[in-house]
């Protein structure tokens, strides 16, 4: 029986105190939400797939020198990560037009961007994560100019890495969202890629057929989300031979 303290419960993950100071356990739930939680469902196995995929991406990023909060995967639903102070921004990189950009600017879905475009949304569910500019970020003190330079550099490195990885398995990386955390080493602060990277937070289209292999399948009722994520996991070779979804841990507060 697990004996640990819940720190935070989000829409797709629950965070528990880790076994050592400065660590956190991320538990990946099966809950799927869209449109600021107006649409909800439980998709069996989604948490397992996102845990494995996020591990794969974070380990790969680490291997090419992009710092992340990831320490190790603990089991099929949980990973151990470094605790960090999350900057309250969703950092979005777009290679092709989709989603809110098509609505906001009237650009046809799938149009290639002249270069990767980095956008920021202020993380606030009540406000629906509104788009903000670097002016807002600086004026409201969410991140310094130095942080912003580092954030853009990190976001573009993640984009290069993920685009290449996906291209290798016949998938086009349309866009994605990452979150950035601050970790403190003594007096020094470092920025790391935090939260998760998974088909919940990316748009992934099959290069040949254009088939959507990401959370748009759920948002737009395009079929089985588990099948789409399993396809991504299979192509990347991260599917376990036998995946037994773990039941929820018992909480003792
Ligand atoms: P859009 O702004 O077009 O809705 O989203 C752009 C990209 O960021 C998409 O890949 C989308 O999945 C991701 N994204 C935007 N907001 C969120 C969010 O609140 N949670 C997650 N998981 N991904 C998001």
Mean pLDDT of 44-50: 98
Read off the pLDDT band of 151 (50, 70, 90).
very high
Residue 125 has what DSSP assignment? G
Answer for the pair 114, 95: CB distance below 8 angstroms, yes or no: no
Question: Which atom belonging to ligand 1 lies closest to the Cα atom of 121?
Answer: 16
User: What confidence category does residue 1 fall into, taking pLDDT thresholds of 50, 70 and 90?
Assistant: low
Query: What is the residue with the minimal CA distance to atom 8 of ligand 1?
Result: 177
Please give the backbone phi and psi of residue 165, each rounded to the nearest 5 degrees, phi first. Answer: -60, -45
Pocket around ligand 1: residues whose beta carbon is below 6 Å from it? 90, 92, 98-101, 129, 175-177, 200-203, 215
**What pLDDT sits at residue 108?**
98
Location of structure tokens 């600086």: 138
Residue 194, token pair as written in the block: 């935090």
**Cα–ligand 1 centroid distance for 247 (angstroms):** 28
Which of these, 110, 137, 81, lies nearest to 205 by C-alpha position? Answer: 110
The predicted-structure confidence for 64-119, as pLDDT tens digits, reads as follows 999 999 999 999 999 999 999 999 999 999 999 999 999 999 999 999 999 999 99
Q: What is the pLDDT of residue 186?
A: 87
Give 97: exposed, middle or buried? Use CB within 10 Å, 0-12, 13-18, 19+.
Answer: buried
pLDDT (0 to 100) of residue 248: 61
pTM over 0.85: yes
Mutate to test the pocket of ligand 1, among 13, 47, 54, 99 (most ligand atoms within 8 A of CB): 99
Atom 3 (ligand 1) nearest CA:
99
Q: How many CA atoms lie within 13 A of 201 on its CB side?
A: 23
Mean pLDDT of 39-50: 97
pLDDT digits (tens, 9 = 90+) for 120-140: 999 999 999 999 999 999 999
Cα-to-centroid distance, 135 and ligand 1 (Å): 22
Q: What is the pLDDT of residues 167-221, one digit of tens each?
A: 999 999 999 999 999 999 888 999 999 999 999 999 999 999 999 999 999 999 9
Distances in Å between the Cα of 228 and the Cα atoms of 53, 77, 180, 212, 220 are 13, 18, 27, 8, 13
Q: 84 near 194, Cβ under 8 Å?
A: yes
- Ligand 1 centroid from CA 176, angstroms: 6
Q: Tell whether the model's pLDDT for residue 249 goes beyond 70.
A: no
For a mutational test of ligand 1's pocket, the pick from 92, 105, 229, i.e. the residue with the most ligand atoms closer than 8 A to its C-beta, is 92
Nearest CA to ligand 1 atom 7: 176
Dihedral, CA of residue 204, residue 208, residue 211 and residue 212, to nearest 10: 0
CB 211 within 8 A of CB 26: no
């Amino acid at each position: 029986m697990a004996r640990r303290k819940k720190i935070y419960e989000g829409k797709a993950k629950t965070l528990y105190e880790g076994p050592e100071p400065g660590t956190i356990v991320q538990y990946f739930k099966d809950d799927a939400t869209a449109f600021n939680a107006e649409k909800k469902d439980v998709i069996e196995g989604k948490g397992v797939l996102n845990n494995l995929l996020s591990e794969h991406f974070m380990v790969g990023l680490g291997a090419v020198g992009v710092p992340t909060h990831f320490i190790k995967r603990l089991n099929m639903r949980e990973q151990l990560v470094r605790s960090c102070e999350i900057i309250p921004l969703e950092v979005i990189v777009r290679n092709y037009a989709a989603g809110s950009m098509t609505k906001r600017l009237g650009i046809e879905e799938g149009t290639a961007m002249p270069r990767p475009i980095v956008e920021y949304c202020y993380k606030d569910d009540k406000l629906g994560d509104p788009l903000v500019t670097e002016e807002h970020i600086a004026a409201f003190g969410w991140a310094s100019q130095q942080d912003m330079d580092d954030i853009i550099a990190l976001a573009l490195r993640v984009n290069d890495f993920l685009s290449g990885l996906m291209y290798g398995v016949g998938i086009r990386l349309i866009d994605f969202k990452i979150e950035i955390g601050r970790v403190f080493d003594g007096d020094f602060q470092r920025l790391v890629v935090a939260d998760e990277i998974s088909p919940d937070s990316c748009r992934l289209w099959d290069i040949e057929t254009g088939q959507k292999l990401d959370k748009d399948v759920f948002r737009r009722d395009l079929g089985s989300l588990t099948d789409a994520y399993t396809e991504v996991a299979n192509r990347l070779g991260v599917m376990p031979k036998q995946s037994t979804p773990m039941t929820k841990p018992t909480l003792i507060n």
